[in-house]
Amino acid sequence: MQEAQRQNFKDYKSLNDFFTRQLSPLARPIEDSIITSPADGRVLYLGPVPNGRVEAVKGISYSIERFLGEVPIPREGYSLQQITIYLSPSDCHRFHSPTNWNIRKRVHFPGDLLSVAPPLTHVIEGLFNYNERVALSGTWINGFFSFIAIGAFNVGSICFYFDSELSTNCKKDSKLRERKFKHFSDPLLVPKGEEIGLFKFGSCIVLIFEMPQSFKFLVAPGDKVRIGQSLVK
């Protein structure tokens, strides 16, 4: 509560209002790195995206086309990389832009609301493919960049402040499972560190991005990360 903008419990109208509480502007300084953590949470997996397969945790993978809705092809000398961050119920439920980038497309995948707690990702292969999720994709200084917000148990509501047309957690849509595409005629310029949305409880965020092969991650699986913390160098 000491990090929250509203530090008095009486200022919150409901339990959900408390879970989605906003942090104080000074609580999470944005570090000087081209990619910073979009959320508070724990790193589940990081590394390359080989042969069109995205990993949830070590050894559990799924098709990037089914998960993201497209298959980005990296340029020569570059590779596709990913990092998966799990938000527990105790973490801040708001998320921020991890870099300076242009958002060109949004794909909404209606689906289930299975728990994404790390133990379950070992049990249900391709779990992230079944869950409701919203994938943003576009470009940044190194080419392709995407931000995927994944719903979880009791977390169908995913909100992006710049997209009033997005409506998640709809039972009818979940049964039909039809992808919903939105192309932004004018790409949205999103600066690093800007708050861009929230979950209504805990969940996962996956970043998939094109990167020169000489880069290095500054974190490892199992590490706790905070909004604005440097992830690569």
CA distance 181 to 109: 9
CB 138 within 8 A of CB 72: no
Per-position pLDDT tens, the chain of length 233: 889 889 998 899 987 788 788 898 889 999 999 999 999 999 999 999 988 888 765 456 778 888 898 999 999 999 999 999 999 888 888 999 999 999 999 999 886 544 445 544 444 444 454 568 899 999 999 999 999 998 765 545 889 999 988 877 665 554 556 788 899 999 999 999 999 999 876 688 999 999 998 999 999 999 999 999 999 99
Phi-psi region of 156 (alpha: psi -120 to 50; beta: other; left: phi over 0): alpha
Q: Which segments within 49-193 are labelled E, that is strand?
A: 53-57, 60-63, 78-86, 94-96, 101-109, 133-140, 143-150, 158-160, 180-190
Residues carrying an active site annotation: 40, 96, 203
**β 94-96/158-160 pair status:** unpaired
CA distance 233 to 211: 11
CA distances from 221 to 19, 45, 180, 183 (A): 25, 5, 32, 33
Model's pTM, two decimal places? 0.86
